[in-house]
Amino acid sequence: MLKGCFHGDVELSLAVHPRYAKNKKMKDDLSLNDPEREEFDELYRTLSRKLRVEHKELPDPEVEELWQQLISTVRSRKKRLRIHLLMGSVAASVALLIGTLFYYHTRSGDIDRDDILHAAMNLNRVDTLEQISLILNDEKEIAIAENNVEIEYTEKGEVQVNSRPIGEKAAEEAETLTYNQLVVPPGKRTLLTLSDGSRLWVNAGTRVVYPAIFHRDRREIYVDGEVFLEVARAEHAPFTVRTGALDVMVKGTSFNILAREGEATRSVVLVEGMVTVKTAHGSMTLAPSEMLEVKNGTERIRKVDVNRYILWKEGIYLFDNEPLHVIMEKLSRYYGKRIICDEASGGLICDGKLDLKEDLERVLNGIAKTAPVTWKQSDETYQIAIIR
């Protein structure tokens, strides 16, 4: 239906029907002898004259900003986009990242530093995939059918999947960095080892962009989703994780970062070492066991039980005082299944631990045994309801 609208056969006359014509039509249609007719006509006319709809307006200065942003993006994206369209992909998310890019330009003014964001923007986000997907710089895409795979880059930038070389060169012999992309769909997880030896546990529903071989004096990756990182120590090459909303700068340390585009809450949890987090409001340094949470523009640092935030990588999910609907959202992403709670069950506050290595139905059975809820599956959706 609407999908092909850009093939363009829209050929309609101007939208506006002159209002008097409407009223005339109304009169013609109403051949009644109603004594109160005049009054009704007035009601109708008044309504159609006065009915308004609440609306937001784009402030004038933003028009120019958006235009500049658009034109620089379309120029740099020209070649690549064609390929994506041929692949039949909507590439809507590319636009999603435009905002991110602009944000960094205005904030840092350091164009060189934006390499990784450029790369992240230019790479197509393909998160409707069902399989883990590794996209190499030459647009070669490798789909991996298994779950919990290990992907490793050697120092020379060669790629191994579960210790087997895949026979693809991930990096060209070139001056410029070449970026690779790993997309882990809902229901899958991956352990990724980068060329410097840093390890990333990549959770379900996450996209990571990184160079096949790091720069000599700095290491940068881009994350949209959730990863746990163990950064290999390298004094002269600081490691930065960039996301749409915050950057985390480290030397050698391990921490969890949750920053998904389009979600309100983003967090960084430090396990050991030290990191500096840069947000729109400034920089702050975290100590071990501290969590920075950014939610609706406010930032808060507090001590946490780190296990709660990193046990997902072992397939365990710890929670306390969390409403069931939040838990179900996480399960939904983890297993790649749609789960819906009714209002009453979604509000139940739960403490506990779930072993996610089991399949979803066993996990749901476990929940149903301890909480007053039942579940049923219809079509592709799991429905959770309270027992009354």
Partner 1 sequence: MGNTKYDSCSERDLWNLVRTGDEGAFSFIYREQVKYLFTYGSHFTNDEELVKDCIQEVFARLFHRADKLGETTNIRFYLCLALRNEIWMEYRRRKRLPLSAMDELPFLANFYLESPEEEPLQQHLEKIVETINLLPHRQKEIIYYRYIEELSYEQICRIMGLKYQSAVNLVQRSLKKIREIYTHTFSYSDLPLALFFILKMHLFVNK
Count of residues touching partner 1 (by CB under 8 A): 71
Q: Which is nearer to partner 1, 121 or 234 (CB)?
A: 121
Q: What is the pairing mode between strands 219-230 and 199-202?
A: antiparallel
How big is the chain, counted in residues?
Answer: 388
Within residues 83-112, the interface with partner 1 by CB under 8 A covers 85, 90-96, 98-99
Within residues 254-293, the interface with partner 1 by CB under 8 A covers 262
* 66 is a contact residue toward partner 1 (CB under 8 A): yes
Name which position in 24, 82, 156, 357 contacts partner 1 (CB under 8 A): 82
- Nearest-approach distance from CB 173 to partner 1, in angstroms: 31
Total Cβ atoms within 10 A of residue 233: 14
Q: CA 79 to CA 74: how far, in whole Å? A: 9
- Nearest-approach distance from CB 290 to partner 1, in angstroms: 29
Q: Which is nearer to partner 1, 63 or 349 (CB)?
A: 63
Q: CA 137 to CA 160: how far, in whole Å? A: 16
Q: What are phi and psi of 64, to 5 degrees?
A: -65, -45
Total Cβ atoms within 10 A of residue 325: 18
Q: Which residues contact 256 (CB under 8 A, 6 or more apart)?
A: 226, 227, 228, 229, 267, 268, 269, 271, 306, 309, 310
- Nearest-approach distance from CB 30 to partner 1, in angstroms: 7
Residue 27 DSSP SS3: helix
Q: CA 57 to CA 50: how far, in whole Å? A: 20
Name which position in 338, 353, 357, 362 contacts partner 1 (CB under 8 A): 338
Strand order in the sheet with 381-386: 338-341, 381-386, 373-378
- Nearest-approach distance from CB 273 to partner 1, in angstroms: 33
- Nearest-approach distance from CB 374 to partner 1, in angstroms: 23
Q: What are phi and psi of 340, to 5 degrees?
A: -125, 130
Piece of 81-89, 158-166, 188-196, 274-282 that binds partner 1 (CB under 8 A): 81-89
- Nearest-approach distance from CB 325 to partner 1, in angstroms: 14
Binding mask 179-218 for partner 1 (x = CB under 8 A): -------x--------------------------------
Residue 227 DSSP SS3: strand
Q: Which is nearer to partner 1, 311 or 339 (CB)?
A: 339
Q: What are phi and psi of 309, to 5 degrees?
A: -100, -15
Within residues 3-42, the interface with partner 1 by CB under 8 A covers 3, 5-17, 19, 22, 25-26, 29-30, 34, 36, 39-40, 42
Tell me, rounded to whole angstroms, the distance of Cα 151 from its chain centroid: 22
Q: Which is nearer to partner 1, 59 or 167 (CB)?
A: 59
Tokens of 94: 């590319």
Piece of 56-64, 195-203, 248-256, 297-305 that binds partner 1 (CB under 8 A): 56-64
Within residues 145-174, the interface with partner 1 by CB under 8 A covers none
Name which position in 20, 33, 38, 57 contacts partner 1 (CB under 8 A): 57
Name which position in 20, 78, 112, 163 contacts partner 1 (CB under 8 A): 78
Q: Which residues contact 299 (CB under 8 A, 6 or more apart)?
A: 279, 281, 284, 292, 293
- Nearest-approach distance from CB 4 to partner 1, in angstroms: 10
Q: What is the pairing mode between strands 158-161 and 149-153?
A: antiparallel
Name which position in 38, 61, 69, 293 contacts partner 1 (CB under 8 A): 69
Name which position in 110, 176, 380, 388 contacts partner 1 (CB under 8 A): 380
Name which position in 20, 33, 38, 53 contacts partner 1 (CB under 8 A): 53
Q: Contact 243/104 with Cβ under 8 angstroms?
A: no
Q: Dihedral, CA atoms, 28, 29, 32, 38, nearest 10 degrees? A: -70
Q: CA 81 to CA 122: how far, in whole Å? A: 8
Within residues 212-251, the interface with partner 1 by CB under 8 A covers none
- Nearest-approach distance from CB 65 to partner 1, in angstroms: 10
* 296 is a contact residue toward partner 1 (CB under 8 A): no
- Nearest-approach distance from CB 215 to partner 1, in angstroms: 29
